[in-house]
Amino acid sequence: MIWLLAIVAATLAAVAGFSTFIQILYLESLRLRTRETRAQEVFKAGMEERIGLKGEQGALAFSLIKHLAMVGVTVAVTGLALAGGRGWRGLIESAILAALVMLATTYLIPHLAYRRTGGEWLLPMAPAARILALGVKPLTALFNFLHSVAELSEPNRGTEEEATPAEHIEALISAGEEEGLIEEDDRKLIQSVVEFGDKRVREVMTPRPNIVAIEKGRSLEELRQLVIHEQYSRIPVYDGTIDNIIGFVHVRDMFELDEEEREKRKVSELVRTLKPVPETKRVSDLLKEMQASGAHMAVVVDEYGNTAGIATMEDLVEEVFGEIRDEHEPGIDVTREADGSIVVSGSYDLDHLSDLLGYRPGEDTESTTVGGLAAEWLGRVPKQGEAVEKDGIRIEVMAGNERRVEKVRISRADARRNGN
């Protein structure tokens, strides 16, 4: 009797380990991977077809086999203890032994075999795996039926949207990072390239309030003073109002003239053409057009034809490679405080918060700056000292007026609650 129970326990332990290994193969086949292991290649090439189950159905079947075998091992080991007549001490020892056996056969050995072997040894055992799968077929059918009933009882959530190409690429990036094929810096660069294709010009342009421009009737000497103060190589030129930008002046054209000529001539004499583009235009399309035409600047207009901003080649490139700072430009004003919060200007780019606080705006977010985000959440321009909390972050307005937010403090909402 004791020998029979020992043989049964050993057999069931082997079945548990074998079914766990096959379950791992099924589960790993469902994961998105940049490359497959040798065991996966062998499994997909022959084993899966011989078993006769695909994907989730195979994983479910061998999960049931594993758990049934584990129950059988526990019963057999308990029977051994009772047959030996050792009382409570024997039961405790059998429980410990059963736990160790299950740990070895359902975790250590299968995972070690998956990582260290190619899986070729599994092919001759395909008929045995198929028999085991057929044995639990009634149970898998019952589970599928119960799952269908549970889905019917859930409220209708509508048709799920299909994943976009960008989401597929994001998944590949994550898989590559998990497998150690992509470094953190590479991931950020690839992610920037992916996001670049979906962005609109209004998300990357210099907004209207920040445009540095000059009226066409001004003298070149006035232009020279503006260039010295602002340190820009291209200055937009407008006629009457900023809504009527007629072109731009390249400072090189001005400095090629001697001082006497600069005093006589007007800005309008050096104006170069500037192409207007709608603010809804894709950034990738604008970059292609700029490359084809050799242009470095475009005026961005809204649906009413008013000036919304200025887009430069530098703005577009920075969306992929990050901030490109000239020698004369001050660094981005980001102040980190002791509690982990950051202080930035209201015009700080919303996309940069992912690097600082791990926050990424939702797809329905229309704002491109942190000040705009606070106003969007409140439905109005926030007042100085006012704070708004949403999506895990808290934005507090430190400076501003009735028209715009000038300075904010941003923190993780959960960190702030823990600090309090």
Q: Position 325: which residue type?
A: R
Question: At 297, is the pLDDT very low, low, confident or very high (cuts 50, 70, 90)?
Answer: very high
Q: Find, among 377, 379, 380, 399, the residue nearest to 388 by Cα.
A: 377
CATH topology for 335-419 is 3.30.465
Span 305-353, pLDDT tens digits: 899 999 988 888 877 666 655 544 545 567 888 888 888 888 777 777 7
Cα separation, 84 vs 90, whole angstroms:
8
CB distance 121 to 127 below 8 Å: no
More confident residue, 158 or 96: 96
Cα separation, 265 vs 259, whole angstroms:
10
Name beta bridge partners: 408: 344, 397
Question: At 191, is the pLDDT very low, low, confident or very high (cuts 50, 70, 90)?
Answer: low
Q: Given this model, what pLDDT does residue 262 score?
A: 77
More confident residue, 410 or 168: 410
Q: Give CATH for domain 201-321.
A: 3.10.580.10
Mean pLDDT of the chain: 79
Query: In sequence order, what are the residues at sequence separation of 6 or more whose Cβ sits closer than 8 angstroms to the Cβ of residue 349?
Result: 368, 369
Question: At 115, is the pLDDT very low, low, confident or very high (cuts 50, 70, 90)?
Answer: confident
Q: What is the pTM of this model?
A: 0.49
Query: In sequence order, what are the residues at sequence separation of 6 or more whose Cβ sits closer than 8 angstroms to the Cβ of residue 355?
Result: 188
Q: Which of 16-25, 225-234, 332-341, 397-406 has the lowest mean pLDDT?
A: 332-341
Neighbours of 109 (CB within 10 A): 18
Distances in Å between the alpha carbon of 208 and those of 134, 406, 413? 69, 15, 32
Phi-psi region of 325 (alpha: psi -120 to 50; beta: other; left: phi over 0): beta
Span 155-183, pLDDT tens digits: 554 445 555 555 555 666 666 666 566 66
Q: What is the dihedral angle through the alpha carbons of 331, 235, 290, 371, rounded to the nearest 10 degrees?
A: 50
Q: Given this model, what pLDDT does residue 175 score?
A: 60
Span 345-398, pLDDT tens digits: 887 777 777 777 777 777 777 787 888 888 888 888 888 888 888 888 888 988
Q: Given this model, what pLDDT does residue 307 score?
A: 92
Cα separation, 159 vs 244, whole angstroms:
47
Q: Which of 124-128, 181-185, 201-205 has the lowest mean pLDDT?
A: 181-185
Residue ranges per structural domain of the chain = 2-152, 165-194, 201-321, 335-419
Q: Given this model, what pLDDT does residue 159 score?
A: 47
CB distance 132 to 65 below 8 Å: yes
- What six digits make up the tokens of 71? 């129950």
> Would the CATH topology of 201-321 be identical to that of 335-419?
no
Question: At 188, is the pLDDT very low, low, confident or very high (cuts 50, 70, 90)?
Answer: low
Name beta bridge partners: 234: 250
